Amino acid sequence: MTTEILGYLAVGIILLVFGLLTWKKKTTAFIHSYHYRKVREEDIPEYTKWMGIGQILVGIGFCLTALLRYLGKRSASWAVFISGLVIGLAFILKAQAINKKS
C-alpha cells in the first residue's frame, strides 16, 4: 500500500471516530469552540447530531477513496471523494444553521 492510500484511510478512520463520538456522546470536544459557542444548551443534541453525521459522511468518503485507489480505480475514487465531501459538508452546514439561529 502506498502512503497516499494509508493517508486517506487514516483520515477517514479518524473522522469516523470523531463523528461517532460527536453524534452519539453529544460532545463538542472535537469541534473548535468558535463553531458552537452561540449554540443554546438545549440545541446541543441536534447540533452534535448533524455535525457528527457530517463528519461520518466525510470519513466514509475518505475510506471509500482509499479502497478505490487500492483497487486501481483512480477516476472513480475522485467522484466518491468529492461526493462524500460535499454531502458531509451539507450536513455540517445544517448544523451551523442551528448555530446561527441560536
Q: Kindly report, residue by residue over 78-91, the tens digit of the pLDDT.
A: 999 999 999 999 99
Q: What pLDDT is recorded for position 20?
A: 95
Q: Kindly report, residue by residue over 39-80, the tens digit of the pLDDT.
A: 788 888 998 899 999 999 999 999 999 999 999 998 999 999
Helices within the chain (DSSP H only): 3-24, 33-36, 44-70, 74-101
How confident is the model over 3-9, as a mean pLDDT?
Answer: 95
Domain count across the chain:
1
**What's the domain range around 49?**
3-101
Which of these, 23, 96, 8, lies nearest to 56 by C-alpha position?
23
pTM as predicted: 0.88
Cα distance between residue 34 and residue 10, in whole Å? 26
